Amino acid sequence: MSLWSLIFTNLRRHRVRTAIGAMGIALGVATMLSVVGLLGGAVKMFERILRNDAEMVVFEKNVSDLFFSNVPVALVDELERQPFVKEAQPVLFAIVTAPDRPVVTCFGIRAEDGRLKKAEWLSGSADAFHGEDVVLGERAADFLEAKAGDEVELGQGRHKVAGVVRMENGFENGGVFMPLAACQKAFHKEGFSSVVTVALAEGHESKDVKEWIHTEHPEMTALENEEFSRSYSQFKIIKSTAWVVGGCAFLLGGLSVTNTMILSVFSRIKEIAIARVCGFSRAQVAGMIFGESLAVCAFGILGGWLLSMGGLRLLQTIPQLQGYIEPNIGWQELSGAAALAVGTSLVGALYPAWYAARLNPAQALRFE
Amino acid sequence: MVEIQDVWKSFDRGRIEVLKGVDLKVRRGETVALCGTSGCGKSTLLNVIAGLEDADRGSVRTAGRTIGSERERVDLLRHDVGFVFQLHHLMPDLTLEENCLVPVIAAGGKKAEAMARLAELAEATGISRLLKQRVRELSGGERQRGALVRSLMNEPDLLLGDEPTGALDEANRERVFAMLLDLVRAKGRTLVMATHDLDLAMRCDRVIRMRDGRIVSDAA
């Protein structure tokens, strides 16, 4: 018999109380993992839109949002003339409205852009992608109730549907692909794209592009995909928001642990007093309370992890969300949530442990 | 074993004076009964001896220790003093065996040695067959015998009893007290016990009477 067996015996004999405490932590962990996982997944999806077989992305310096970035399309030709560039592709991002759909993402791209070549064509073909015709992602075709050959109303214009494609990426699958020139015209951005993706020629490094951009186009910036992900302020905001929302959930979880541990201490004041009479030091009593809190926390972490995995799986099966939900829960997220849970539990147990440790055993034995 | 000089103790910021200049010496191996009416200060005196309450003034030495710090208090309770109360104060959801091992956990004792000692004490008190049972399944007498075993698990030299048989019926009172005395005397331990029961008190080496926080008689 050890201190841990005392701890587990106490938790076992108050199963409901233990379960409530663990549930508080579990909800915190589940909320954090779900929010972080979902938003992390969304960020990853957006990163893949930018990547599209390219290693770098060029955009206007110091813009907070890529939708506000204006990169002259002439830069594409200049870039493609450089020996260190294998291919450069302009992409114009825009948001357009459609009947009953306030937000539809629109991608202005060239016909030779790799994303259409790689897509699974459900109807139509890339040959028809010209003029003002559009290609719809499968989900977009669903909610716009359109098929190849139909006309769809997007913003202030009507566009013929050249084809429908199935994309792996949820954003692209729910988006509309428009020929770059038509997109520029529709959004009054003639001659500009939002970004230019750059694939490097073999044997060349990203610094060649960076140096060239820095010298020739100082109003632009060129970043490797990883650098972009780390530095793009929108991603930072999204990630920070996820951790803050999750952290708030933990505050509630922490209160639940505090409540559980206070109840645990108050309901056995005499037992704690007897333990002290039997030779338990204050540190041992506090250790027992912290141990109980950590054990509750461990159950909570496990429960929260299972809850979030189950919940996210469930979300992925909802047809309307398919493709949009791509949770990204790795060891980093799990460790972060677990560390927060442990921290919350320890802080939550501080007052109960302090109270229990400073109990005067003689007075506590008289406690009714 | 116990040396107390001019010990005063009050509660409620001095409004309730419980001990008023108590002097007491108890030699190793003695059995001492503290008698007196309720509220005369018997329990407080035991708590002061065990280091569970600090005296307001006066000096207290128990088992050669002067309790000045939390560390000394803990060491005293772990190694030198066992305490039996009127109510058993066992943890109801633990088995009797687990309850008896609580002082061993506190002192960080070795399990094998503790189990051997437990077997010996359980045999002596007739609770061997009850060790795996939960406390709530036991009778009052069985619980009190369990509490007695628990108090002796770390082989203390001094056993303190606060009405240790006070909540038992006559048959159990006699049985538990006989066991208590046997276990104390067999190993040359010291016993200081508060009791209302003069019959039991008379079987101790000394009977000390207290009244209104003072010792009024001390007879062999």
- At B139-195, the pLDDT tens digits run 888 898 899 899 888 889 999 998 888 777 777 788 878 887 888 888 888 999 999
* Per-residue confidence (pLDDT) for residue A320, from 0 to 100: 62
Joined together, the tokens standing for residue A245 give 């929302």
Question: What's the pLDDT score for residue A1?
Answer: 66
Contacts of B111 in chain A (CB under 8 A): 1
Question: CB contact, 8 Å: A279 with chain B?
Answer: yes
Q: Are strands A134-137 and A157-166 parallel, antiparallel or unpaired?
A: parallel
- Show Cβ contacts of residue A274 under 8 Å, excluding neighbours closer than 6 positions: A361, A365, B89, B90, B91, B102
Mean per-residue pLDDT, B116-121: 89
List of chain B residues whose C-beta atoms are within 8 Å of the C-beta of residue A270: 89
Contacts of B146 in chain A (CB under 8 A): none
Measured distance CA(A91)–CA(A94) in Å, rounded: 10
**Facing residues of B17 across strands?**
B10
SS3 content of chain B, % helix, strand, coil (to 5): 40, 30, 35
Q: Which residue of A has its CA nearest to B48?
A: A362
Domains held by chain B: number = 1
pLDDT tens digit sequence for B8-45: 999 888 788 889 989 999 998 899 999 998 889 889 99
Question: With an 8 Å Cβ cutoff, is A154 touching chain B?
Answer: no
A271 vs B contacts (CB less than 8 Å) = 89, 91
| β-sheet bridge partners, residue A89 | A197
B94 near B134, Cβ under 8 Å? yes
Residue B33 has phi, psi (to 5 degrees) of: -105, 130
Q: How far is B220 from B202, CA to CA, in rounded Å?
A: 9
Pairing of strands B190-194, B214-219: unpaired
**Does residue A105 contact residue A171 with C-beta atoms inside 8 Å?**
yes
Q: Which helix (H) or strand (E) is A60 found in, with range?
A: strand A56-60
Q: Quickly list DSSP for B81-134.
A: EEEE-SS----TTSBHHHHHTHHHHHHT--HHHHHHHHHHHHHHHT-GGGTTSB
Structure tokens at A14: 């108050």
DSSP string, A181-225: HHHHHHTT-TTEESEEEEEEPTT--HHHHHHHHHHH-TTEEEEEH
Residue bearing tokens 């400073």: A358
In chain A (368 residues long), the average pLDDT of successive 10-residue segments reads 80 83 85 80 72 82 81 91 92 88 88 83 85 90 89 88 87 89 90 92 89 92 80 75 79 76 80 89 91 90 90 77 66 83 85 88 76
d(CA A80, CA A74): 10
Cβ atoms of residues B119 and B172 within 8 Å? no
Structure tokens at B88: 């058993």
- Do the beta carbons of residue A260 and residue A21 sit within 8 Å? yes
| Exposure on the CB side of residue A350, measured as CA atoms within 13 A | 8
What sign does the dihedral B46-B49-B53-B56 (CA atoms) show?
positive
Nearest Cα to A327, choosing from A313, A339, A317?
A: A313
Q: Which amino acid is at B131?
A: L
> How many A/B residue pairs have CB atoms within 8 Å?
66
- The whole-number pLDDT of residue A181 equals 92
Looking at residue B198, which CATH number applies to its domain? Answer: 3.40.50.300
- Per-residue DSSP letter, B216: E
User: Which among B15, B25, B39 is positioned nearest to B211, based on CA atoms?
Assistant: B39
CB contact under 8 A, B98 and A13: no
Confidence (pLDDT) at A366: 73
CA gap A174, A176 in Å, rounded: 7
To test the contact with chain A by mutation, choose from B93, B105, B115, B155 the residue with the greatest count of A C-beta atoms within 10 A, namely B105
CA distance A228 to chain B (A): 56
CA–CA separation, B47 and A187 (whole Å): 86
| Interface contact B12, partner A, CB < 8 A | no
Contact B106 A280 (CB under 8 A): yes
Distance from CA of B94 to the nearest CA of A (A): 7
For residue A165, give the nearest of A126, A218, A112 by alpha carbon.
A126
B141 touches chain A (CB under 8 A): no
Look up the pTM and report it.
0.71
User: How many angstroms separate the CA atoms of A159 and B214, rounded?
Assistant: 105
Name every chain A residue with its beta carbon within 8 A of the beta carbon of B74: 279-281
Cβ pair A270:B107 closer than 8 A = no
Q: Are B31 and B207 in contact (CB under 8 A)?
A: no
Q: Which of B76, B86, B146, B136 has the alpha carbon at shortest distance from B107?
A: B76
Contact (CB<8Å) B50/A277: yes
What single-letter DSSP state applies at residue A175?
Answer: S
- Whether B179 has its CB under 8 Å from any CB of chain A: the answer is no
CB spacing of B50 vs A274 below 8 angstroms: no
Q: For a pLDDT cut of 90, what percent of chain B falls above it?
A: 25
Q: Domain range for residue B152?
A: 2-219
Nearest residue of A to residue B153, measured between CA atoms: A278
